[in-house]
Amino acid sequence: MDKKCPGQSSRRMIPDQVVSELECPECGYQVEFFPTDSSRACPECGTRVEKSRDQLRNDLACADWCPSAEECLGPDFSKVKKVLEGKQVETLQALLDSIPDTEKDVKDFFRKAHRDCEDEEFLIDTEKSVKPLKKANPELHEKVVKYYSEFTKESD
């Protein structure tokens, strides 16, 4: 990853410019994130470290205006772009497609959670939808978390 950002005339490279670090909650290791990473496994202990949506937006701020964002950030960018642009319909569909048809209750949950989500930047409001489910329906909660984290995790 030593590609020069095509949207920049300076010599700044992607890693210097936009790599962010988050501390692993388990071992304290500083885990490096590229702009399109929404989560990464800690290289030290393997714990999955999640980047917040705000952080993701922040890291991708250049992509809001940069015409070279797609070229610069690669194929993951189109996925993350939908988050930035609030175009969640396709993302919801992709999420639903990733869940087997036998898991109707899980699919129904995500459809409803998406409808209930007031911030159009987000696919679902996990605080409002997923958290309360833990008490109300632990079994469904477990499945929802499983499918959602599988869907959102990067393929590393």
What angle (nearest 5°) sits at the alpha carbon of residue 73, between those of residues 94 and 59? 90
Q: Pattern of binders to Zn ion over 17-36, x per CB under 5 A? A: -------x-xx-x-------
- 56 near Zn ion, judged by CB under 5 A: no
| 58 contacts: CB under 8 Å, gap ≥ 6 | 20
Residue 44 or 150: the one with the smaller Cβ distance to Zn ion is 44
Residue 38 or 129: the one with the smaller Cβ distance to Zn ion is 38
Q: Stretches 16-24, 51-59, 89-97, 118-126: which one binds Zn ion (CB under 5 A)? A: 16-24
φ, ψ for residue 4 (rounded to 5)? -80, 140
Among 42, 96, 117, 124, binds Zn ion (CB under 5 A): 42
> At its nearest, how many Å lie between Zn ion and the CB of residue 52?
18
Among 3, 21, 32, 45, binds Zn ion (CB under 5 A): 45
DSSP letter assigned to residue 48: E
Alpha-carbon span 110 to 150, nearest angstrom: 14
Alpha-carbon span 49 to 45, nearest angstrom: 11
> At its nearest, how many Å lie between Zn ion and the CB of residue 23?
9
Give residue 44's Cα distance to chain centre: 21
**Contact residues for Zn ion (CB under 5 A)?**
24, 26-27, 29, 42, 44-45, 47
